[in-house]
Structure 1
Amino acid sequence: MLSKGAAQAMKDTKHKKAKKAKGSLRVGLVAADPLRILGLQTIFPDGGPVEVVPLSVPGALDASGVSLILIDSACTDHIFELLATFRRTRPRFRLIVLGLEEDHDHIQRIIGAGAKGYLAHSAKESEIRMAIDVVQDGSVWAPRKVLARLLESTSAGAETPAGPAKAPKFTQRELEVLRLLAAGHPNPAIGRELGIDVATVKKHVGNLMRKVGVDNRIALSVQAVNQKMFLGR
């Protein structure tokens, strides 16, 4: 039988774990290679802001408590069929594919099939962390050339809305946000860099999209780079 002090200590430990779990982002991981699983768990240890939850292919479709799933394409010969199944049955899940391929055409197919991000097996820890932040923010993580292609294919054949007669004018703060956004930084990182909260960052991003005449962050960042908008007017 536990002493009163030991019982209280155990209760406090459970409370702390529950509190940490409540505030952490649970990321599912579908991978067959134990080293891949261990590597991700090393990057995101227990008790941190991100909790890695190993999943099987069928188990991932019924996963609860996760909104983002990393899928190692090496664990299946049918990655496109798997992405199609997620897209059809679990559209709320944000998916990031891990793979050996670094060919832009292949990555574009992965994103086009429903993934919100693609990471090469050789990706650094900083890239993995940033990709998760960006995708969790609701944007897409992929090489800029792939994003530009996707943007072009999405807008191809669509009528171009009449834009403003003059080039958009940005405030100094909007230009600062735009530079960081174009560099691929997610909202929390932009907020930390500029000393503002995430809600304010989102407000600036919304204003930027309205001024540029686009309806998503991908189009905004691609146009910002292509037209060098962050250099000011």
Structure 2
Amino acid sequence: MNTPDTDPRFRLMLVDDHPMMRRGIRQLLELEDDFLIVGEANNGEEALALLETLQPQLILLDNNMPLLNGIETLKRLRQIGYSGKVLLFTVSDAEKDVRDALRFGADGYLLKDMEPEKLIQQVRQALLGELVISPGLTRVLAQALREPQAANQVELTEREQQVLRMIAGGNSNKMIGRKLGITEGTVKVHVKNLLHKLGLRSRVEAAVWAMSHEQA
């Protein structure tokens, strides 16, 4: 019998206050051989209570829920040290929701009007360490993460630009250091400097900044 330590499938948890929505997502994801739905929750409070028992690697999280909404649940998850992937999966494309989700450590922000096949693809990409965003949110992201200085006034060194592109590609500091032939500590210095120059507060914001300006 497989255990969390031996089962090769990715462990997913669904958090949504609409049972029909959860059932549909579950049926869709369970068609994939490498996904295992370990549990469901009706709201954020339930999700937090089940976290230790279920040990999910990725949480698909609705935002508009009773008791504890998605953004607040995300904040609590990061505060207690949950290091797995968290994807907001919601109907809201409000700038504040997108901005807050990314600033509080979401690994992606997806809209519920997306095609089923695209959801599967985005979940896989997130599990591999990529930041996933619904394509229709590019303009919202650019507005949400509007930097204090205009983009053409930000002067990043060539190395900082390389590091920024690699962050946007989902690479860890260790992987960036390995690819560039520099130490992880040096990478951290570059990350700190580029965040300061861009007026951003996290790697996720930096990744989104890079993506939105690439597509601008």
Would you call these one fold, judging by a TM-score over 0.5?
yes
Letter in 1 for 2:56: V
Match of 2:129 in 1: 138
| Distance in structure 2 (CA, Å) of the matches to 1:62 and 1:219 | 33
Per-residue deviation, 1:225: 2.4
For structure 1, list consecutive stretches of 5 or more residues without a partner in the other structure. Answer: 1-13, 169-177, 188-201, 227-233
Match of 2:16 in 1: 31
Residue of 110, 113, 121 corresponding to 2:101: 110
Match of 1:69 in 2: 59
Report Cα offsets for 1:9-37 as digits up to 9, x if no partner: xxxxx6xx77xx72211111122322122
The CA RMSD measured in Å over matched residues stands at 4.0
Per-residue deviation, 1:39: 0.8
Residue of 97, 112, 119 corresponding to 1:121: 112
**Compared with structure 1, are the counterparts of its residues 41 and 72 closer, same or farther at alpha carbon in structure 2 (3 Å cutoff)?**
same
Per-residue deviation, 1:84: 1.6
**Compared with structure 1, are the counterparts of its residues 28 and 123 closer, same or farther at alpha carbon in structure 2 (3 Å cutoff)?**
same
Match of 1:43 in 2: 28
User: Which fold has the larger relative contact order, with Cα–Cα distance below 8 Å and residues 6 or more apart in sequence?
Assistant: 2
The answer as to whether partners of 1:40 and 1:52 remain within 8 angstroms in 2 is no
Per-residue deviation, 1:114: 2.8
| Distance in structure 2 (CA, Å) of the matches to 1:36 and 1:220 | 33
TM-score (norm. length: structure 2): 0.60
**Compared with structure 1, are the counterparts of its residues 131 and 76 closer, same or farther at alpha carbon in structure 2 (3 Å cutoff)?**
farther
**Compared with structure 1, are the counterparts of its residues 163 and 126 closer, same or farther at alpha carbon in structure 2 (3 Å cutoff)?**
same
Letter in 2 for 1:136: L
The answer as to whether partners of 1:23 and 1:49 remain within 8 angstroms in 2 is yes
* Alignment coverage as a number of residue pairs: 174
Equivalent residue of 2:132, what SS?
Answer: coil
For structure 2, list consecutive stretches of 5 or more residues without a partner in the other structure. Answer: 181-189, 196-202
